[in-house]
Amino acid sequence: MNAAAAWWARLRRQWKLYHLGEPEFAFMFEPPPPGEWVALDCETTGLNPRTDEIVSIGAVRIVGERILTSERLELLVRPEKGVTADSVRIHRLRERDLAGGLPLHEAMRQLMRFIGSRPLVGYYLEFDVAMLNRAVRPLLGMGLPQQRIEVSAMYYDYKFHRMPPLMQQNPEIDLRFDTLMRDLGLPQRDAHDALNDAVMAALAFVKLRRLCGGD
């Protein structure tokens, strides 16, 4: 990072800290621990980040090439509107399973403390972060500030750069999660379980970093 970029980064950090809703979360704006990330996933009542709700959160820490399953976070969240039959068929969480879940604001506090300032890793992470940001903004006055790393984008780059030049002109790369995991020779867990999906995203991230030289 050159001097101008470093100055701009410091200025942005100071601006965000000034506007931070709750100072207790200032630690999220510190430099992240070197070589550490957090893989996460959410299960929700639907696919609309404006109206649907989070019902479970899974997260696991990554240090170097190790996935620390002993340092994981697994939360059930009690939705305000309940769950539909369609969403139960996907994530298998019924209203009675969620009755003892955490209120959303408490789940967000636990998640933010678990993440710290570590970059976030996930598969189609944009949706999960959109859902989380809707819950986080009332606490922070802004969305999650951490860097985001999209596993499907890493996989796309990995496959694209190994194609012959002619095929790169019209690339067809299957980005489905099960295809990605099989192609990378990684074990698969039951899908649509937040912790399982977070662990699988972590496995793919570690493998792709290794294949791409650790960048």
Q: What are phi and psi of 48, to 5 degrees?
A: -105, 105
- Inside any domain, residue 10: no
- Inside any domain, residue 184: yes
- Inside any domain, residue 49: yes
Report d(CA 22, CA 24) in Å as an integer: 5
Q: What are phi and psi of 101, to 5 degrees?
A: -70, 170
Per-residue model confidence (pLDDT) at position 7: 59
Q: How many domains does the chain have?
A: 1
Q: How far is CA 90 from CA 93, 135, 192, 199, in A?
A: 8, 22, 6, 18
* pTM greater than 0.85 (yes/no): yes
Closest-CA residue to 132 (of 149, 116, 153, 109) = 109
Per-residue model confidence (pLDDT) at position 73: 98
Per-residue model confidence (pLDDT) at position 9: 62
Per-residue model confidence (pLDDT) at position 175: 97
| Percent of the chain that is helix, strand, coil (3-state, to 5) | 45, 20, 35
- Inside any domain, residue 183: yes
Report d(CA 193, CA 93) in Å as an integer: 9
**CATH number of 100's domain:** 3.30.420.10
Residues making up the chain, counted from first to last:
215
Per-residue model confidence (pLDDT) at position 158: 96
- Inside any domain, residue 27: no
Q: Which amino acid is at 184?
A: L
Q: Retrieve residue 113's tokens.
A: 């403390």
Q: How far is CA 45 from CA 51, 83, 133, 134, 166, in A?
A: 9, 6, 16, 14, 43
Q: Over the range 37-68, which residues count as b (16 or more CB within 10 Å of their CB) and which as e?
A: bbbbbbbbbeeebeebbbbbbbbbbbeeeebe
- Inside any domain, residue 80: yes
Local mean pLDDT, 10-residue blocks, the chain (215 residues): 62 62 84 96 92 95 96 94 80 85 96 97 97 93 94 96 87 95 94 93 97 78
Per-residue model confidence (pLDDT) at position 189: 87
Per-residue model confidence (pLDDT) at position 22: 75
Q: Residue 87 sits in which domain range?
A: 32-211
Report d(CA 192, CA 121) in Å as an integer: 17
Q: Retrieve residue 125's tokens.
A: 């992470």
- Inside any domain, residue 8: no
- Inside any domain, residue 15: no
